[in-house]
Amino acid sequence: MMTNEQQLKRAEQVFDTEIEGLRNVRRSLGKSFTDAIALMLSCVKNEGIVVVSGIGKNLAIAEKMSAIFASTGTRSIVLNPVQAMHGDLGMVAPRDILIALSFSGESEEILRLVPAVRRHGLKVVSLTGRPDSTLARMSDVHVEIPCGPEACPFGMAPTNSTTATMAMGDALAMVMIDAMQFDISSYAMNHPAGAIGRALVLKAGDVMRTGARLAKVAPETTVMDALLAMTRAKSGSAVVADADGRLLGIFTDGDFRRAVSREGADAAIVLRDPVAQHMTRKPQFAELDVYAAELLKTFENRHIDDLPVCDAEGRVVGLVDIQDLPKMKVL
């Protein structure tokens, strides 16, 4: 019976093995990878489809790989090699390419599939752990995955090899995004539902606070009145704007706490101070047409919770509060 410490130690060993495997694969990246990208780009240019196939656990990886390709702008399908030999080859065309997965490079079903797709005019990219394998030799491009031994104590159960193969698929997909200049609006077209879809379809103008839920004050407003405005709006901040509505700063409950906690500060005096004296000047702001996904990045990178929204002339039109986003199922 393993103790808890022994269980954790064994789990750490698995992670260490797979992390080292990924490092090995990363170091091996070279011309074969860029050759594979070139074939994929040519396929996309000719309006072809990237066909991904494997058997057993590699078929599950093929499904994941094809899904990430398709969602990021590279049209893709999964081809079961057994079903392919019984009619499903009708789904492929000469402008397509095949990415064949087999860590050993000797999977019989895949070895039967390759000549069949070649007769249909497809180029073949293989991902294996053995550059001297039959599949590697049959391929137009072979991308090696030299990840090292499996994490399984018997060295047999696919663990390290499956992780590395999935990572290689992710690398291909992400390079294709950059190479095709696939942008966030295109990504949104492929993800209309769920939290991802909402974050990519909704914009600042859709999720911002306005009207009574927006605390907007003038620079001469006292801190006390700014806090009251925040309370009425049920907001953790107030935007400070000039007479024309242009953004001057933002005053948050954090600004108030910092003001009263300074050495020698008198809370009663701070409450009578003009809010401009304690606000954050020239704060980060968003424009109306910025996607919610970009707002989330700003919140994370800038370590802030509130973001004023301004029109093209710099006039305050709203405020995005990070606490509102879960209610809209954006987070």
pLDDT of residue 200: 67
Q: Would you say 324 and 220 are in contact if contact means Cβ atoms under 8 Å apart?
A: no
Q: What is the pTM of this model?
A: 0.68
Q: Give 55-86 as a DSSP string.
A: STHHHHHHHHHHHHHHHTT--EEE--HHHHTT
pLDDT of residue 330: 61
Measured from the Cβ of residue 312, the count of other Cβ atoms closer than 10 Å reads: 8
pLDDT of residue 162: 96
Q: Quick one: tokens of 256?
A: 């108030």
Closest by Cα among 151, 127, 148 to 139: 127
pLDDT tens profile 232-285: 999 999 999 999 999 999 999 999 999 999 877 888 999 999 999 999 999 999
Distance between CA atoms of residues 66 and 52, nearest Å:
6
pLDDT of residue 292: 82
260-294 in b/e form (b: 16+ CB < 10 A) is: eeeeeeeeeebbeebbbebbeeebebbeeebbbbb
Task: Give me the sign of the Cα torsion angle 192, 49, 128, 172.
Answer: negative
Res 88 pLDDT > 60: yes
**Calculated CA dihedral for residues 67, 72, 75, 79, nearest 10 degrees:** -20
What domains are there in the chain, each with its CATH number? Answer: 4-182 (3.40.50.10490), 204-328 (3.10.580.10)
pLDDT of residue 109: 96
pLDDT of residue 155: 83
pLDDT of residue 196: 67
Q: Quick one: tokens of 161?
A: 């090899």
Highest mean pLDDT among 151-160, 172-181, 189-198: 172-181
94 to 113, 119, 140, 154, 279: CA distances (angstroms): 15, 9, 14, 42, 64
**Who's near 326: CB < 8 A, 6+ residues apart?**
none
Instruction: Indicate the range of 7-11, 97-101, 154-158, 244-248 predicted with least confidence.
Output: 154-158
Q: Would you say 251 and 237 are in contact if contact means Cβ atoms under 8 Å apart?
A: yes
**Who's near 4: CB < 8 A, 6+ residues apart?**
none
pLDDT of residue 182: 81
Backbone angles phi, psi at 217, to 5 degrees: -130, 165
pLDDT of residue 54: 97
pLDDT tens profile 281-325: 999 999 988 888 888 888 888 889 999 999 988 999 999 998 877
pLDDT tens profile 180-228: 988 776 776 676 666 666 666 678 888 899 999 999 999 999 999 999 9
Chain centre distance of CA 171: 13
Query: What mean pLDDT, rounded, does the chain reach?
Result: 92
pLDDT of residue 154: 86
Res 108 pLDDT > 90: yes
